[in-house]
Amino acid sequence: MKPADFLDAIVPAAQACHAATGIPASFTIAQAALESAWGASKLANSGHNLFGVKADPSWKGATVVLQTREVIKGESVMVMAKWRCYATWLECLTDRALFFRQNKRYAACFKATSGPDWCRAVAAAGYATDPQYAEKLLAMIKGRDLERFDVIAKTVKP
C-alpha cells in the first residue's frame, strides 16, 4: 500500500478516535504507519493489527504468533511473539485506545495535548523497546505534516 492510500484509509478513523478519546490523530497515524510499514506488514495483513499490540494474558480475542525484532539489553534480536488480531482496522484503533486508557503506565500520556507530546509520553512509558521510538514517530509526524489532521479531528463527531 502506498502512503497516500494508507492515509486515505486511516485518517477518518484516526480523527474519530481523536474526538472520542483525546489521542491525537497525528500520533495514531504515525504510530500505525511506523508499526505496520504503511499497512504492509504481515501483522497488519494477517491480523489487522496496526500498532504491534501484543496479546497479554488478559486478551480473549484471536491471536497470531509472528517473529519480531526487539531490543533487549541493548542488542537487537529476533523473537517470537503473540499478537492481538482484529477483524478491521477500526476495531484495532478502538482497542488500542482502550489499551492506553486501561493501562496505568500510560496515564501520563493523556496529559499530553499534541501528537509530538504523545510520541514522547508513550515512549517514556515503555511502549516499545526501540530507544529511538519517539524520534521515529516525531520524524513521521513532521515529514508527512500529520498534525494537520489534529485540527480537523476536533470537529469530527465520534
* Catalytic residue IDs: 70, 95
Least Cα distance to 69 among 46, 120, 96, 35 occurs for 35
128-133: which pairs have CB atoms within 8 A and are 24 or more residues apart? 128/52, 129/70, 129/71, 129/72, 130/71, 131/71
